[in-house]
Amino acid sequence: MIIAYDYLNKGNFYMPTIIGNIKKLIRSRLKKAKEGNPNGQPGDNAEANAVFRFKYVLFKELLAANSELFNILADMEQKLKGSYIFGASYIKNQVIRSMIQVFKMVKNLNVLSGNKYPQLYQVLDKINQEIKSVTAEKKEHEPPFYVIPYRDILKKDADFVGGKSANLGEIQNSLKIPVPEGFAITAKAFNTFLDTNNLREEILKRKNLIDVDDTHHIELLNRLSGEIMDLIKSKPVPDDIMSDITNAFETLWITPATASSPGDVRVAMRSSAIGEDGDLSYAGQYLTLLNVSFDQIGNAYKSIIASLYSARSISYRISKGINDEELSMAVACIRMVDSVASGVMYTRHPYNILDDHIIINAVWGLGPYAVDGIIRPDTYGVEKSDLFPILSRDISDKMVQLVCHHESKDPLSISGISDNKGSDHQITESIREIPVPLEKRSVPALDDNQIKQLAEYGQQLEDHYKCAQDIEWAVDPMGKIIILQSRPLKINAVPVTSAGSGISAETGSTVIRQKPEPIPDYRVIIDESEVASQGIGTGTAFHVRSEEDLAAFPVRAVLIAHHSSPEYTVVMRQCSAIITESGSISGHMAALAREFTVPTLMGLGAKNALQDIPNGMEITVDGYSGRVYEGVVTELVAAVEKQDAHMKGTPVHEHLEKISRLMLPLYLINPKAPEFTPSGCRTLHDIARFCHEFSYIEMFNVSDIASKQNKCSFRLSASLPIDLHIIDLGSGIKKGFAGESDDPATSNTCQGMISTDQIQSIPFLALLEGMLNKDVNCHDPKPVNFSGFLSVMQEQMLSPGHVGDRFGDRSYAIIADKYVNFSSRVGYHYSVVDAYCGETVNKNYISFSFKGGAADDIKRNRRVRAIALILKSFDFLVDVKEDKVDARFQKYPCPLIQDRLDILGRLLLFTRQMDMLMTTEDSIKWVADNFIAGNYKLSAL
């Protein structure tokens, strides 16, 4: 097995050339600047601006890689639960994708920092070698068949026939439950088709021309994708493969017993990419064809293979870091079921954890209208017991149905891509909508015997797979029930504003998007929150506000804290649940909670959890509905009794467990700890955590570059007591603005003047709002302690050390639409604000630093301690050393980030000359209390 690190060294197209693309951007900007002014001065400005843009793009791509890595790890955590069928190819591809994302983070951090962390490459290579050694223990031997009938397929064959066929084969052969007749065209056939026609090199040659980071790439991508798809369709299917397909077709359907001719049989051909991360992420990416006749199978097969290289599929795989060299396509070839009725069955309620009854939805005709929620189906409730008694019936008025049109000669594309532009075909002559006869509209689509037979199949499937199932089924013209698909049912009790139905993102089936009613007779403390990790947890509430609290954390308690933190991992093994008032459900702690299977809630209604849930109260955390109850809700506890899922104990699951130990755990917890170094990284998660943490520091230091540049900025025209210059990274100033002529006195230091209404940077506008606040930005004199004033003056005159500590008087704001790096270096102190504010909570942060002053060491220390008190009251994490304070506020929604930037804006002006007031220890709290109360003039309260 070749691991991602080896691929990265090859430099194939699928690894976007991040650094190369950014360098091209810089070179293009330099070229434009030099063409506009041959004397070279503007070129210097353009070069400075390009450096800022270079760093910012690197930073954004690092954050994007971090987010994508967590999506991959979350999917692996889901597979570790053992409910989903997967093969070794899935593991291999997830490893490759993860390595690519981590490599991006390592490379970008080193370029950002001037190669401060080269050891990260060595650590990444070491983990890569360890993964290789684990993989070497497991060798997969591909069976020598191009076609395998379902009677010979089990779930262990997923690597060769794809997940869809492996699942149907498992149902038919292990449970003896009817499934559609069919066979799988294997991954070996796919590889043979490409190799025989020498297609790999031709495909790679075209794909290497694609640069997804180029804003003009769409037209090129569509053209090259079309060329690849046409090339594939133009090649013949090798005779050996077509012979095996023909034999399988005739063996199954053209026999004396069936008295059928090839023209009488129509099949559905469904794509099943080997190595994909389940049906979840790839839904709709590849082609499925219905109503395919015998003489169309060869061309249909090539069309499905070609859909692997549609513009949408190529773009998707590149953006997700999925390597084509490890991806192949199996195809399920299934006889069309001319359904009299069809629908969906859930073996328990899809959102009410307490309802363990079977639910069956049914419509007349083919299944898509039931799956997609186009019409309201009949709904039946069935009890799980030996006789499967029917508990409820809700019969709808079913006005229309989908049916096969047997006279049509054209196959129907129902999903994925069938042309170069990625458009989907609608209903055509091969499948059509017709009215349901009036006498059948209000008649149940299933009789009682069929309902009970379906329920029995559902119970068998749930028992076999050891988890609730989401099942698609059909009834053929002979009245026989056939299972079309069965997969794990994800209980999805998401909060919504109104009831409704729609397509489940997890399964593609209809899921009622309605939150269940609270459990009666229990007090609801929190009614709504974001679920970071599912499950039910009970225990006594324990507030965690410090490291001391963590050290005293009791076994089986419920951890309640203000914000999520990876440091809580030290108690997760003894923790029954976690509630945090804020945090990101895609962040480090959420990933850890899922790894440790700890039910975890964050944000929304939990924002006052520390206040609403006292220490010591016994509570139940419902990690499905997002609720918290007072007391132990025995009904919820009984509803989630665990059983090992069907994949656990299989060789491929054990292999995933071994690999995941080098990927998922997080050992780098505390950034202040001495082991928080590259050499302390033991897993891919550790490396990502290190890069994520230090990327903020490197972006924070970007202001140092700004202070050394001339004439690369605009000057802000605003009523501020600072000379503020703005460097736009390309999206921070409204388009079409070129800057007004500036005062001759400042013409050598900026390109022009701009006003606040020309700014569109979200975080910078929030910071300016605080700085321009009329209550803090006023000219009224603050009370001055005379002895403090004399002390400051004496320190300036007598202390030679201050001569070298004085900073320049210009302040800079480096801005983009979601980013600001503001540095104010005035007199003897400096302050820096670095912030990102967007829709993705996991990316949002504020870093703040303040240092220096004109007073003596004691007064400067008092000032930063007062600043620390203020920031702590607004939920910043704060660190004070001598006359410097550093603070961090991260992983909060955009409105909260904006609010805290407003506070910082006020604080930046409020702190000017504050050191004159720091005459006693009591002045620290006095100043902090006044600011928190909004008494910025320090008048008598």
Contact present, 87 and 159 (Cβ < 8 Å): yes
Phi-psi region of 752 (alpha: psi -120 to 50; beta: other; left: phi over 0): left
User: How is the chain split among helix, strand and coil, in percent rounded to 5?
Assistant: 45, 20, 35
Confidence of residue 211 (pLDDT cuts 50, 70, 90): low
Distance in angstroms (rounded) separating the CA atoms of residues 839 and 64: 13
Task: Answer yes or no: is pLDDT of 504 > 70.
Answer: no
Strand pairing class (752-755; 714-717): parallel
The answer, yes or no, to whether residue 422 has pLDDT greater than 80, is: no
State the CB neighbour count (10 A cutoff) for residue 809: 11
Question: How crowded is residue 257: how many other Cβ atoms within 10 Å of its Cβ?
Answer: 5
* Single-letter residue type at 39: N
Higher pLDDT, 539 or 640: 539
The vertex-179 CA angle with 173 and 185, nearest 5°, equals 80
More confident residue, 326 or 832: 832
What average pLDDT does the segment 847-865 reach?
82
DSSP for 257-295, please give it: TTT--GGG-EEEEEEEEET-SHHHHHTTTS-EEEEEEGG
Structure tokens given for 414:
């129902």
pLDDT confidence band for 279 (50 / 70 / 90): very low
Q: Are 562 and 875 in contact (CB under 8 A)?
A: yes
Residue 866 confidence (pLDDT) above 50: yes
593-618 mean pLDDT: 89
Distance CA 260, CA 799 (A): 103
Task: Give pLDDT, residue 763.
Answer: 96
Among 225, 217, 198, 450, CA closest to 345: 450
Dist. CA 149–CA 250, nearest whole Å: 12
Pairing of strands 288-293, 530-533: unpaired
Q: How far is CA 436 from the centre of its chain?
A: 43
Q: How far apart are CA 879 and CA 887, in angstroms?
A: 6
Residues 895-920: tens digit of each pLDDT: 999 999 999 999 988 887 676 777 88
Question: What's the pLDDT at 277?
Answer: 44
Query: What integer pLDDT is reported at residue 207 of this predicted model?
Result: 77
- pLDDT, residue 38, reads 41
**Residue 21: predicted pLDDT:** 45
**DSSP class of residue 847?**
E
Q: Which two tokens stand for residue 29?
A: 């900007």
- Residue 322 and residue 15: Cα distance in Å, rounded? 9
Helical ranges in 390-524 per DSSP H:
448-465
Q: What is the dihedral of CA 615, 617, 620, 625, to 10 degrees?
A: -60
Q: How would you write 899-913 as a 3-class SS string?
A: HHHHHHHHHHHHCCC
**C-alpha–C-alpha distance, residues 846 and 888, integer Å:** 6
Pick the closest to residue 765 from 905, 588, 920, 653 (CA basis).
Answer: 905
**Within 10 A of 240 (CB to CB), how many other CB atoms are there?**
12
Cα–Cα distance, 662 to 685 (Å, whole number): 9
Say yes or no to pLDDT of 766 above 90: yes
Q: For residue range 25-43, what is the model confidence (pLDDT) as tens digits?
A: 444 444 544 444 443 334 4
For 513-549, write each residue's pLDDT tens digit: 467 889 999 999 999 898 888 889 999 999 998 888 8
Residue 917 phi/psi, 5-degree rounding, is -90, -10
Handedness of CA 904, 906, 909, 911 (dihedral sign): negative
- Highest mean pLDDT: which of 342-346, 427-431, 497-501, 568-572? 342-346
pLDDT of residue 276: 54
End-to-end CA distance of the chain: 72
Structural tokens at position 300: 């249909």
Q: Is the pTM of this model over 0.75?
A: no
- Tens digits of per-residue pLDDT, 225-238? 899 999 999 999 99
